[in-house]
Amino acid sequence: MSRSARLFDLIQALRRRRRPATAAALAAELGVSERTIYRDVATLIGQGAPIEGEAGVGYVLRPGFTLPPLMFAGDEIEALVLGLRWVEQHGDDMLGAAAADALAKIAAVLPAERREEAGDSGLIAGPGAPLAATALALVELRRWVQAERKVRIAYEDAAGRRSERTIWPFALAFFDRARVVVAWCETRQDFRHFRADRIVSADPTGERYPRRRRALLAEWRKREDIPEPI
């Protein structure tokens, strides 16, 4: 591996992490020695990369650092194209439009040969099974999730039993056959999952729920044994 490629991989490894990464962890991921990591970090800092940390503690890349899109590898471009095409077909109307716009922007700034690869990708996002109709506008739900707002809902379970709940929605899961609201339920005083097509009505209370969405999501991931993002 060339030194420039190794430096790029090191930047990418730091970008994927939300928490400081030790030299040992980075060395294991990149297949190099810790001494090489120390040397490469010093080189990147000298070239202006906003890396904070120190040996023995760990390193973190400050937000806002960007790399030119021409650095995307072929597999990375295919992953982006496939993911955006899936969202275009399976997200709500606003997400679908945003995915199409993002794909057009990426294609516009790619070098010519990479642009052809993106357009000729043989990876196809299939249509999937038809989704049940839902009375809940997913666009509105995403806004309530982002704003960390309590929502009063009327919900029907699989047996048709209806209940009234006040929930703290903090995530929305897009499955092939359903959309699922992940929330804290004040009635049950626990995490619950609500299928969007079974929510009969939903009204925001105007109140912000007392815990941060990030904390709820982290606790739910731990409860469900879902690994945290790197």
CB 204 within 8 A of CB 150: yes
**Distance between CA atoms of residues 166 and 186, nearest Å:** 6
Answer yes or no: is pLDDT of 145 > 90. Answer: yes
Q: Residues 42-53: pLDDT tens digits?
A: 998 888 888 998
Q: Are 184 and 149 in contact (CB under 8 A)?
A: no
Tens-place pLDDT, residues 3-19: 777 888 898 889 888 78
Q: State which H helix or E strand residue 185 sits in.
A: strand 179-185
| pLDDT exceeds cutoff 70 at 102 | yes
For residue 173, which amino acid is it?
Answer: A
Q: Residue 135: pLDDT above 90? A: no
| CA quadruple 24, 27, 33, 34: dihedral sign | negative
pTM of the model: 0.65
- 179 CB neighbour count, 10 Å cutoff: 22
**Residue type at position 87:** V
Q: For 102-116, what is the mean pLDDT?
A: 75
Look at residue 68 and tell me whether its pLDDT is greater than 70.
Answer: no
- pLDDT value at residue 38: 92
Q: How would residue 164 be classed by pLDDT, with cut points 50, 70 and 90?
A: very high
Which of 77, 68, 71, 61 lies closest to 26 in space, CA to CA?
61
Contact 168, 141 (CB under 8 A): no
Predicted confidence at residue 219, as pLDDT, reads 95
